[in-house]
Amino acid sequence: MRLYPYIAPVILTPLAFYLWYRNYYAVVIPIVWAYIVPGIGTNVLKMWEFDVRLRLGRFRPHHGFVFGSATATIAWLVRDHGALVTAAVLFLVNFLYDVQALRAGILHVYNQPWADGKGEVAIVLDYAPWFFGVFGLIYAAGLRPEATMLLTLIVPPAGYACQSMLLHGHWGMRPIRDGRTPSSAHAAEAALSRGWRTGASAAPYGLSSSLIVTAGRLARSARLAGGSGGGPMPRSRAVSGVTSIFFAAGRSRSIAAMPVTCRFDSDRVDDIERRADVSASRSAWGMAAKAMTGIATGPLV
């Protein structure tokens, strides 16, 4: 799968020009289209990304020849069966290719189905009918070359944008990376690009970490102010310490409401982290209890 994008254009590009020697536009149009539309989708809108060794930004520089040569060759094979058959075949072939590319990690698509955790088929079906099917229908309609080029650049993206607005509530022109809205995409980019999952499931860790820090500081203050030297503990410090514990618990609820909290997507890691969370919580409350004991037994001034 990773060798095909390099081998296929070398073979199919001259073959396609040979097959269409009377109509070079049939080869030029899909090549140019595959540089403009996917180029904008990758490096401008950042909706797609190619994970290959040779690339410019998120885009592979030979992509036009990968898509265009194969499209022209397939179109020549079914040229006598009409525009509808050509569109259906182009849709099916490119749909299957993109599904396999997603599974192989060559292609990444940051659309709404991907953000919702759906599989490769649903991800590709979100855009393939427009960018492959409708493109193929216009491409095989027998229009003048300039009209074909113009319509293929306008109709598929516009149709996809309208579909996205109807189905998802947004135009589909910005990457969706946290399962919610495009506006919070950048916050989850680093975590989600590495296969982590998001949600409020990691909220208990905010509680444990906050309590550990707060209780630790409070216990240390109790030891320094009252335990080690036997001196009185200032009332303001005691009240501040107790308040910090409740603030930490409130902060954990805020963390639970945040849209981006990440944990590794592994059952084994989940089990280890759950046990660590229980232990950490016990330690936190134990430290808090010790701190409170130090406050209660020490004189307040």
Query: Which residue bears the tokens 């020490």?
Result: 298
Ramachandran class of 267: left when φ > 0, alpha when ψ lies in -120 to 50, beta otherwise = alpha
pTM greater than the 0.85 cutoff: no
Separation CA 233–CA 1 (nearest Å)? 70
At 300, is the secondary structure helix, strand, or coil? strand
Cβ–Cβ under 8 Å, residues 66 and 10 = no
The yes-or-no verdict on residue 293 having pLDDT over 90 is no
Note whether 72 and 19 are within 8 A (CB).
yes
* Dihedral pair phi/psi, residue 263, rounded to 5°: -140, 155
Continuous segment of H or E residues that includes residue 182: none
Q: In the predicted model, is pLDDT for residue 154 greater than 50?
A: yes
Q: Would you say residue 64 has pLDDT above 80?
A: yes
Q: What 8-state DSSP symbol labels residue 56? A: B
Which range is most confident: 45-54, 237-246, 285-294? 45-54
Position with higher pLDDT, 292 vs 155: 155
Q: How far apart are CA 84 and CA 81, in angstroms?
A: 8
3-state helix, strand, coil in the chain (%, to 5): 70, 5, 25
pLDDT band at 224 (very low <50, low <70, confident <90, very high): very low
Count of residues for the chain? 301
- CA-to-CA separations, 95 to 1, 15, 61, 120, 258, in angstroms, rounded: 15, 23, 21, 10, 36
Per-residue b or e along 161-191, where b marks 16 or more CB atoms closer than 10 Å to that residue's CB:
eebbeeebeeebbbbbbbbbebebbeebbeb
Q: Which has the minimum average pLDDT: 44-58, 89-103, 216-230?
A: 216-230
Which of 101-115, 135-149, 173-187, 251-265 shows the lowest per-residue confidence on average (mean pLDDT)?
251-265
Token couple for 84: 């509808």
The answer to which of 87-101, 158-172, 178-192 has the lowest mean pLDDT is 178-192
Transcribe 211-264 into DSSP letters.
Answer: HHHHHHHHHHHHIIIIITT-PPBPHHHHHHHHHHHHHHHHHHHHHHHSS--EE-
Residue 183 is predicted with a pLDDT of: 34
* pLDDT at residue 176 in the model: 84
| pLDDT score recorded for residue 177 | 65
CA dist 109 and 118 (Å) reads: 12
User: How far is Cα 177 from Cα 75, in angstroms, rounded to an integer?
Assistant: 36
36-to-72, 75, 128, 148, 218 alpha-carbon distances in Å = 17, 20, 17, 14, 61
Q: Render pLDDT for 239-285 as a digit per residue (tens, 0 to 9).
A: 444 444 444 444 444 433 343 333 334 344 444 445 544 444 454 44
Residue 137 above 60 pLDDT? yes
Q: How confident is the model over 168-223, as pLDDT tens digits?
A: 999 999 998 654 444 334 334 433 443 433 333 333 334 444 434 444 454 455 44
Mean pLDDT of the chain: 74
* The pLDDT of residue 286: 52
